Amino acid sequence: MQHLSEQEILRRETLQKLIDKGINPYPAELWEVTHLSTQIINGFEANPEADDLKNISFAGRLMSKRIMGKASFAVLQDSAAKIQFYVKGEEICEGEDKSLYEEVFKHWMDLGDIIGVKGYAFRTKTGEISIHAKEIKLLSKALRPLPVVKTDADGTVHDAFTNPEQRYRMRYVDMIVNPHVREIFVKRTKLVNSIREYLNAKTYMEVETPILQPLYGGAATRPFKTHHNTLDMPLFLRIANELYLKRLIVGGFDGVYEFSKDFRNEGMSRFHNPEFTQMELYVAYKDYAWMMDLVEEMVEKVAIDVTGSTQVQVGDNLIDFKRPWKRYTMFEAIQEFTGIDISEMDEAQLRKVAADLKLHIDPKMGKGKVIDELFGEFAEPKLIQPTFITDYPVEMSPLAKSHRSKPGLVERFEAICNGKELCNSFSELNDPIDQRKRFEEQLELGKRGDDEAMVLDEDFLRALEYGMPPTAGLGIGIDRLSMIMTNSPSIQEVLFFPQMRPENKE
């Protein structure tokens, strides 16, 4: 049984009063909106006598109301901003029962209700641009009260909707009472559009690949597993779309990209959500050095399109995306921040270095994972300005091409910014015999207990055996990039509906 607060009970009683008076609290007919709030305000500032401001039809959510005898003021909020409107009892709802509608507005319209207003723009005696209402209409009754911020005489704020768990769980309320939150998602959309414009201008094709996959591949992580009843077979939510996009390169496309929802059954933090968005790009006849130049150019454009500058404030750091970015090899980065050259060390020596640095290493980890742990602990957090880390050990990169001049390494880079990975790129491995060997090495790691080791994909190997041209691949984290471009401290801030624990109804 639904538990109702005292205010929720009162609102349901008001709802019934409206129905008893013959007023539909959820009318179905069209309410044409001719102006947004900002269009009224900016238009009146530019030309108070403009004809279109003399016949306004507006709609928004009731955010405040001041009853002043026969005249009242109220504030509506739409998708753009807030605007005040003025109501005089004998003027509203011409041709209908004025006293009834005055009663509806004064007593039965609550904060949070969706209201339609028709009238004209004017400036009040206090100088505020407002709507002089000639007609008002209830468009949707809110049965729950909004959390309205109140400030007492001492300046203490009460009832502010700031608890992160409440905000993320009830994003719909968050965006009503904290309208600045909507700007984060406006910027995120600008970011996605900026990348799409950049790639489309290069004539690369946006595609779609399967989310439900018989084998998960393209990354080292644990998947989510489900079951298809008709086919009676297990399926996995994709952890990456890499192997399918490379099949399209085999099929003859020169450049393909996809904004993909990916799913990884791993830990949650302010940098990780089990469901996240990546943009993956594959371009034939290119390599990782070429892709580094593309990433610099593309992300610099994104920063300008989203923020108006190459410089972006992120917490205490002013990050500059202007090209060129600094570049280290992975071994150079570890040596820079630990003073230790690990480039010629075997697994036993690496484990001793980790122990000397008091870094715990899981016994199931192979050599590549140990190196990754050293980099992640001692180098990555120190990389604040955008930096390319290149030339990774082969054990860390089973899908990347062997380095053309450095044995034991692969042609791979990651872009690190504000201490976190932004993107990952390879000169893609297109030798099917080498690729099979790498997959088999991953299977051995799996036997050692590494539950993030890759599986062997026979169909992908078959595709490579038909011949894939030299290819550069890129995966860029849209959520992480959005965090930086919006100065958001956690990934939950840039996701409309982040994953949450089950709600405690108590």
Reply yes or no on whether the pLDDT at 94 is more than 60.
no
Q: Are residues 142 and 162 in the same domain?
A: no
Q: Are residues 199 and 134 in the same domain?
A: no
Answer whether residue 459 is part of any domain. yes
Reply yes or no on whether the pLDDT at 506 is more than 70.
no
Segments in 47-170 forming alpha helices (H): 98-103, 164-169
Q: Are residues 191 and 308 in the same domain?
A: yes
What confidence tier does 446 reach under pLDDT thresholds 50, 70, 90? confident
User: Domain total for the chain?
Assistant: 3
Q: Which domain holds residue 276?
A: 180-325+385-494
Answer whether residue 504 is part of any domain. no
Q: Across the chain, what does the average pLDDT equal?
A: 91
Buried b (16+ CB within 10 A) or exposed e, 237-274: bbbbbbbbbbbbbbeebbbbbbbbebbbbeeeeebebe
Q: Are residues 316 and 396 in the same domain?
A: yes
Torsion of CA 173, 178, 182, 187, to 10 degrees: -150
What is the Cβ-side half-sphere exposure of residue 468, based on CA atoms within 13 angstroms? 32
Reply yes or no on whether the pLDDT at 323 is more than 90.
yes
Q: Are residues 126 and 207 in the same domain?
A: no
pLDDT at 218: 77
Reply yes or no on whether the pLDDT at 306 is more than 80.
yes
* Residues contacting 457, CB < 8 A, separation 6+: 215, 217, 243, 439
Answer whether residue 294 is part of any domain. yes
Least confident of 94-103, 182-191, 360-369, 470-479: 94-103
Answer whether residue 406 is part of any domain. yes
Phi then psi dihedrals of residue 121, to 5 deg = -85, 140
Torsion of CA 118, 123, 129, 133, to 10 degrees: -20
Distance between CA atoms of residues 1 and 467, nearest Å: 63
Q: Are residues 206 and 308 in the same domain?
A: yes
What confidence tier does 96 reach under pLDDT thresholds 50, 70, 90? low
Answer whether residue 1 is part of any domain. no
Distance between CA atoms of residues 440 and 447, nearest Å: 11
Q: Which residue has the tokens 């190196």?
A: 371
Answer whether residue 189 is part of any domain. yes
Q: What's the burial of 355, exposed, middle or buried (CB within 10 Å: 0-12/13-18/19+)?
A: exposed
Percent of all residues in the chain with a pLDDT value above 90, rounded to a whole number: 75
Average pLDDT over residues 279-296: 98
Beta bridge partners of 57: 118
For residue 467, the one-letter residue type is G
Q: Are residues 188 and 166 in the same domain?
A: no
Digit-coded pLDDT (tens) for 165-183: 899 999 999 999 999 999 9
For residue 175, the one-letter residue type is M
Q: Are residues 433 and 295 in the same domain?
A: yes
Q: Are residues 390 and 461 in the same domain?
A: yes
Q: Are residues 61 and 188 in the same domain?
A: no
Answer whether residue 366 is part of any domain. no
Question: pTM value?
Answer: 0.89
Tokens coding 123: 């400036």
Q: What's the CATH code of the domain at 424?
A: 3.30.930.10
Distance between CA atoms of residues 382 and 396, nearest Å: 21
Torsion of CA 78, 83, 86, 87, to 10 degrees: 10
Q: Are residues 224 and 157 in the same domain?
A: no
Q: What's the CATH code of the domain at 81?
A: 2.40.50.140
